[in-house]
């Protein structure tokens, strides 16, 4: 039987989780909809949880990834937020390629 490696990763700071698959997807949805409420809804996530994740990411970076405008003004990614998505997706590709190479020839 041929085996294949699979796994997930996340980026942490000394304060805890910073970026992972779900958080990056949330950033992408915020960018798509311009609304935290719509992004949360698209992910079947409560607004409160999505807001907590955004606050958590913003607090763990030197510059905010997301800007929230009160009073229905929308929610937007900053340039830092867009860079974070690009970085994470590149790391995701690199890790996937590494696992594919490392698992070639694994047999049980």
- Average pLDDT of the chain is 92
CA–CA dist 42, 40 (Å, integer): 5
Tell me which residue of 12, 2, 24 sits closest to 108, measured CA to CA: 2
Both tokens of residue 35?
Answer: 């609304």
Residue 104 DSSP SS3: coil
pLDDT of residue 100: 86
Residue 3 reports pLDDT greater than 90: no
| pLDDT tens digits, 78-90 | 999 999 999 999 9
Both tokens of residue 52?
Answer: 């907590």
CA–CA dist 37, 41 (Å, integer): 6
Number of helices and strands in the chain (H, E): 4, 4
- Its pTM stands at 0.89
Residue 107 reports pLDDT greater than 70: no
Residue 105 reports pLDDT greater than 90: no
Whether 23 contacts 53, CB under 8 Å: yes
| pLDDT tens digits, 6-35 | 888 999 999 999 999 999 999 999 999 999
CA–CA dist 108, 106 (Å, integer): 7
| pLDDT tens digits, 25-70 | 999 999 999 999 999 999 999 999 999 999 999 999 999 999 998 7
pLDDT of residue 65: 98
């Amino acid at each position: 039987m041929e085996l294949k490696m699979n796994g997930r990763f996340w980026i942490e700071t000394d304060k805890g989780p910073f970026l992972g698959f779900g958080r990056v997807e949330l950033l992408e949805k915020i960018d798509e909809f311009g609304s935290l409420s719509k992004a949360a809804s698209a992910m079947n996530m409560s607004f409160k949880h999505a807001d907590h994740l955004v606050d958590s990411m913003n607090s763990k970076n030197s510059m905010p990834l997301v800007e929230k405008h009160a009073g229905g003004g929308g929610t937007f990614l900053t340039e830092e937020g867009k860079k974070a998505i690009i970085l994470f997706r590149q790391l995701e590709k690199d890790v996937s390629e590494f696992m594919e190479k490392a698992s070639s020839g694994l047999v049980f």
